[in-house]
Amino acid sequence: MSSDSTSIDRRPSSGAMDAGRSRLPQPLHAWIMQWGTAIVEGISSVGDIAYFAYQMFGWMFTRLPRRGTMMVNFYQVGVLSLPVVALTGTFIGMVLAVQSYYQFQAIGLESRLGVVINTSLVRELGPVLAATMLAGRVGGAMAAVLGTMRVTEQIDALTTMGADPIHYLVVPRFLACLLLIPALTVMADFMGIVGGYFYSVIVLGIDRAAYLHHSREGVVGFDLFSGIFKSFFFGGIIAVVSCYRGFNCQPGAEGVGKAATAAFVYSFVLILAIDLFLNIVLDSIYFMIYPEGTMLF
């Protein structure tokens, strides 16, 4: 055996070194190590994703991708998502009508159902549910496509040909989500309002004129604005998280699957967290503009 090998053999194992340094009981030591590692990895991931977003914004303010590259992504995010968003919006409107009708009927206020349906839709459910649907459809697909490109060395191929993968792959996807998810949210809102009207007036037989009259009075421009405003953030979050997950995909089919799942889960959690934060901010602004609040009745 060489002297090198001997010196290696004499070194204490890492476990022994850990035990030597720590006087804590083994389970507590392991627990602290586990949590410590998780916290360090979490902070490192936040740093990574922030740097990833920084690089992307850097490209957005220097040179945008070619029109052809952008249009493909706009088509995939916007046009191909239209049917599913429209369908989801319609069902949300009808479900709201079903859920609210009997409570409102019990107090004789069923003609005001439109206020509840439309306000809920444009302020909250339209943006959040459209974003959730798109986090699954668009975000999952983005992570899977970019993850597959990573695994099959297509991203390396882009780099070797002088193209910056963030400029070529991420910027168009980010812009597509940022600009088109608000547009899809408007579509979800509209279809939800139509769905709610259809179920309330046609199926439940609520008076059409009263329903429309109260609906018009209950929803103000700020409601619509706040929903669309939030959807810009949701779109940006979906794109950044999904592209980041795809770019940092682990090898193999399992890696791609995990990237797609993580893209959806992280996007969804962040959408809800940002929704809470923005609602607090927007409500403060709302009550500054309308001190009397919303008049339901």
**By the rule CB under 8 A, 37 interacts with another protein:** no
**By the rule CB under 8 A, 152 interacts with another protein:** yes
Subset of residues 92 to 111 that bind another protein, contact rule: CB under 8 A: none
CA 275 – CA 125 distance, rounded (Å): 11
**By the rule CB under 8 A, 157 interacts with another protein:** yes
CA 177 – CA 238 distance, rounded (Å): 7
Closest separation in Å from C-beta 286 to another protein: 44
Is the CB of 171 or the CB of 193 nearer to another protein? 171
**By the rule CB under 8 A, 159 interacts with another protein:** yes
Range in contact with another protein (rule: CB under 8 A) among 153-161, 174-182, 203-211, 277-285: 153-161
CA 171 – CA 153 distance, rounded (Å): 20
Tokens at 145, concatenated? 């496509």
**Number of residues engaging another protein in binding (CB under 8 A):** 18
The rounded radius of gyration (Å) of the Cα atoms in the chain is 26
**Whether the Cβ atoms of residue 140 and residue 263 lie closer than 8 Å to each other:** yes
Which amino acid is present at 200?
A: S
**By the rule CB under 8 A, 164 interacts with another protein:** yes
**By the rule CB under 8 A, 6 interacts with another protein:** no
Is the CB of 34 or the CB of 159 nearer to another protein? 159
Start-to-end C-alpha separation, the chain: 90
Query: Which is nearest to 227 in space by CA: 119, 69, 113?
Result: 119
**By the rule CB under 8 A, 161 interacts with another protein:** yes
**By the rule CB under 8 A, 5 interacts with another protein:** yes
Subset of residues 50 to 79 that bind another protein, contact rule: CB under 8 A: 72
CA 31 – CA 42 distance, rounded (Å): 16
CA 95 – CA 115 distance, rounded (Å): 15
Is the CB of 59 or the CB of 198 nearer to another protein? 59
Is the CB of 166 or the CB of 201 nearer to another protein? 166
Is the CB of 2 or the CB of 284 nearer to another protein? 2
**Whether the Cβ atoms of residue 86 and residue 191 lie closer than 8 Å to each other:** yes
Closest separation in Å from C-beta 167 to another protein: 10
Handedness of CA 47, 53, 57, 60 (dihedral sign): positive
Binding site residues, another protein, CB under 8 A: 1-2, 4-5, 72, 148-149, 152-154, 156-157, 159-164
